[in-house]
Structure 1
Amino acid sequence: MKIAQIAPLAERVPPKLYGGTERIVHCLTEELVKLGHDVTLFASGDSLTSAELVPCCDVALRLNPKVRDFLPHHVAMLEEVRRRAHQFDILHFHIEFLHFPLIKDFAGKTVTTLHTRLDLSDVHPFYLAFPDVPLVSISEHQRTPMPPVNWRGTVLHGLDPTVLPFKERPSGAYLAFLGRISPEKGPDRAIEIAVRAGMPLKIAAKVDAQDRDYWDSVVEPLIRRHSNVEYVGEIGESQKADFLGNAAALLFPINWPEPFGLVMIESMACGTPVLAFRYGSAPEVIDDGVSGILVDTVEQAVKRLDRVLGLNRRKVRESFEKRFTTDRMTRDYIDIYRSLPSIRAPADPTPEEEPKKVGLEAA
Structure 2
Amino acid sequence: MKIAVLSPIVWRTPPRQYGPWEQVASVLTEGLVKKGIDVTLFATGDSVTRAKLSSVCDHPLGEKPADFKVWECLHISALMERAGEFDLIHNHYDFLPLTYSRLIPTPMLTTIHGFSAPDIIPVYKKYNNTGHYVSISNSDRSEELRYIATIYNGIDASLFPYREVPEEYLLSFGRIHPEKGTHLAIEIARQLNMQLIICGLIQDARYFAEKVEPFVNGDTVIYKGNVGPADRSILLGNAKALLHPVLFEEPFGLSVAEAMMCGTPVIAFNRGSMKELILERKTGFIVDTVEEAVAVVGDVDHIHRYDCHRHAIDNFSQEQMVNRYVEVYRRIVSTA
Which whole-Å CA distance do the structure 1 matches of 2:191 and 2:324 have between them? 42
2:334 maps to 1:336: no
Instruction: Report how far residue 178 of structure 1 moved.
Output: 0.8
1:212 and 2:205 matched: yes
Candidates 120, 127, 131, aligned match of 2:128: 131
Instruction: Tell me what 1:323 maps to.
Output: 315
Contact 1:207/1:215 (8 A) holds in 2: yes
- Residue 147 and residue 108 in structure 1: after superposition, are their counterparts in 2 closer, same or farther (change >3 A)? farther
How big is the shift at 1:125?
2.5
2:102 counterpart (98, 101, 104)? 104
Distance in structure 2 (CA, Å) of the matches to 1:234 and 1:31: 26
Contact 2:110–2:134 (Cα < 8 Å) also in 1: yes
Q: CA deviation at 1:147?
A: 4.3
Secondary structure at the counterpart of residue 286 of structure 2 = strand
For 1:114, the equivalent position in structure 2 comes to 112
CA distance in 2, matches of 1:343, 1:130: 17
Deviation sequence 1:156-198 (CA, Å, 0-9, x none):
011111111001112x210011110001100000000000011
Matched, 1:167 2:163: yes
The aligned amino acid for 1:124 is: I
**Structure number, greater radius of gyration:** 1
Alpha-carbon separation, structure 2, partners of 1:108 and 1:196: 56
Counterparts in 2 of 1:339 and 1:106: CA distance versus 1, 3 Å: farther
Equivalence map 1:149-164=2 (5 Å) = 149-164=145-160
Partner of 1:194: 189
- Seen in structure 2, the aligned counterparts of structure 1 residues 341 and 48 have a Cα distance that, compared at 3 Å, is closer
1:267 maps to a residue whose letter is: A
Rounded Cα–Cα distance in structure 2 between residues aligned with 1:125 and 1:161: 37
Structure 2 CA distance for aligned equivalents of residues 19 and 59 of structure 1? 14
Aligned to 1:350: none
Look up the SS of the partner of 1:141 in the other structure.
Answer: coil
Task: State the SS of the aligned residue for 2:77.
Answer: helix
Aligned partner of 1:299 in structure 2 is 291
Change (3 A) 1:293 1:107: farther
Post-superposition offset of 1:78: 1.2
- Structure 1 residues not aligned, in runs of 5+: 345-363
Alpha-carbon shift at residue 71 of structure 1 (Å): 2.1
The aligned counterpart of 1:252 is 244
TM-score (norm 2): 0.96
Taking structure 1 as the reference length, what is the TM-score of the superposition? 0.89
Matching residue of 2:41 = 41
Q: Which runs of 5+ in 2 are unaligned?
A: none
Q: 1:249 to 1:107 in 2, by over 3 A?
A: farther
Asked if structure 1 preserves the Cα contact closer than 8 Å seen for 2:95 and 2:120, the reply is no
Looking at structure 1, the residues matched to 134 and 301 of structure 2 have their Cα atoms a distance apart, in angstroms, of: 35
In the TM superposition, what is the alpha-carbon distance from 1:309 to its structure 2 partner?
A: 3.6
Q: What is the rounded CA distance, in whole Å, between the counterparts of 1:342 and 1:88 in structure 2?
A: 14
Contact 1:128–1:147 (CA<8 Å) still a contact in 2? no
Q: Is the 8 A contact 2:83 2:106 kept in 1?
A: no
CA distance in 2, matches of 1:71, 1:202: 36
Give the equivalent residue in structure 1 for 2:28: 28
